[in-house]
Amino acid sequence: MSQTFILLLSFSGELVLLFFSFSERRKQSLLYILYATQLFSKKFNIYRNSIKVVSNQFIIIVVVSFSLIAIMQSCRSSDADDLKEKDAITEVPPTPVFLLQKGKLSTTLTLPGELTAFQQVDVYAKVSSFVKKLYADVGSEVTEGQLIAVMEAPEINSQLEAAQSRVESLEATYIASKANYDRLVETSKTPGTISPNDLDIALAKQKSDYAELQSAKSSYKEINDTKNYLEIRAPFTGVISARNVSEGAYVGPAGKGSDLPMFVLQEQKHLRLIVDVPEAYTSFLNDNSTISFTVRSLPNQIFKATITRLAGALDIHLRSEHIEMDVMNNDKKLLPGMVAEISISLPAQDSTFIVPKTAIVNSTEGTFVIKANNGKAQWVSITKGREANDNDEIFGNGLSVNDTLIKTGSEEIRDSSSINKIKL
């Protein structure tokens, strides 16, 4: 940047004021000139008294001329340096490029999953009753069919006794009507003794009594089965993970007694690992695919599981496929409800174009790479695939093997703009 300086010369009390405009590079030259001027002035004062012929004006002209010549030489040298510097600055470095190649990109998909019990059931009371005795608590391991609670309902016992009495009464009635019909049949073997109408009425009475007896027996069986519901038994082998009642509490299928289950029973030695896989990765999974996972409570231990169940359809809200894996948990290190970090290996199936991430430009105008074509930049729209390390899988029309792509893409490199130099 140019700056203006004032050069003040003094000879014999006369002042000569000069203005010079020069750049930063000329400062040092000016300092040398001022030093030379002062030195000349001192010499001149020494010999002034002896040399009277030369006028002051002549001396000033000589000094100023010398100064101007020195400044012009300095300016020429400085201008040459400035031109060299500008040339170095304006020189554009070559654009790094690479040749497009195909390859197979194997990646690992990491997703959150959930461990749940293979079987889980909330145990409720079938009939309205009161808890008489509990035989299990939280953490109790129970086997299939084991008694875990007993309730009491005195009215059921009364209903059962009444049903039994009715069965016995109807059974006696049926026996009497059957005997009467049998006697009439024997008597009717003698012609003219029993009319056919009487015989039909006796048969109908026997069948009616038999039907009532069967109905009474069914009622008795129903009440007896209801009484059996007063004993709560484990439906499968597992662990009681929750208990919501105490002895003496009212339970039942309706009302306040049905707010919470009596027990929550889980099968914990056999777990389900559940994960929802996004649509883009469903084609890489199938039955018997092996995955690995970790849990936060055991970060240094890696567990294995095998895919056993695939939903075969996408969830309409998440656009993902529901997948389940069986996990054997005999040592009970894993607990239902744990969050697992699942690693699913996604091997490459076909070779695709692989490019560095820096070559892909994501902008409001789309996603593209820039191809160097005969000294011109060409934007090629692409679709991104999987990612691994610093490379991306891309798909797009207009790309071929050994195409020259710019290694570091940018929107500043406009479509159809000139590319002067490239460097592989």
Question: Which residue in 169, 199, 195, 197 sits closest to 182, CA to CA?
Answer: 199
Q: How confident is the model at residue 63 (pLDDT cuts 50, 70, 90)?
A: very low
CA 190 to chain centre: 94
| pLDDT at 288 (0 to 100) | 80
Q: Is 270 helix (H, G, I), strand (E, B) or coil?
A: strand
Torsion of CA 31, 33, 36, 37, to 10 degrees: -110
The yes-or-no verdict on residue 208 having pLDDT over 90 is yes
Percent of the chain that is helix, strand, coil (3-state, to 5): 35, 35, 30
* Mean pLDDT computed over 227-240: 94
| pLDDT at 335 (0 to 100) | 93
190 Cβ contact list (under 8 Å, min separation 6): none
Q: Return the percentage of the chain with pLDDT > 90, whole number.
A: 49
Here the contacts of 290-295 (C-beta below 8 Å, separation 24 or greater) are 291/325, 291/342, 291/343, 291/344, 291/345, 292/342, 292/343, 293/113, 293/340, 293/341, 293/342, 293/343, 294/340, 294/341, 295/115, 295/334, 295/338, 295/339, 295/340, 295/341
Helix (H) or strand (E) holding 264: strand 263-266
| pLDDT at 349 (0 to 100) | 64
Question: Which residue in 391, 362, 424 sits closest to 370, CA to CA?
Answer: 362
The yes-or-no verdict on residue 131 having pLDDT over 90 is yes
- Cα distances (angstroms) measured from residue 186 to each of 81, 196, 203, 256: 146, 13, 13, 63
| pLDDT at 379 (0 to 100) | 93
Total length of the chain: 424
Q: How confident is the model at residue 58 (pLDDT cuts 50, 70, 90)?
A: very low
Q: What are the φ/ψ torsions at residue 316 (nearest 5 degrees)?
A: -70, -20
The yes-or-no verdict on residue 163 having pLDDT over 70 is yes
Q: How confident is the model at residue 13 (pLDDT cuts 50, 70, 90)?
A: very low
* Mean pLDDT computed over 258-285: 91
The yes-or-no verdict on residue 256 having pLDDT over 60 is yes
| pLDDT at 153 (0 to 100) | 92
- Cα distances (angstroms) measured from residue 323 to each of 113, 114, 119, 148, 298: 10, 11, 17, 34, 23
| pLDDT at 62 (0 to 100) | 45
Bigger pLDDT: 76 vs 113: 113
DSSP 8-state secondary structure symbol assigned to residue 214? H
- Cα distances (angstroms) measured from residue 358 to each of 17, 354, 409: 61, 12, 6
Distance CA 419, CA 393 (A): 26
Q: Return the percentage of the chain with pLDDT > 70, whole number.
A: 78
* Mean pLDDT computed over 41-60: 48
The yes-or-no verdict on residue 206 having pLDDT over 50 is yes
The yes-or-no verdict on residue 180 having pLDDT over 70 is yes
| pLDDT at 106 (0 to 100) | 74
Helix (H) or strand (E) holding 27: helix 27-46
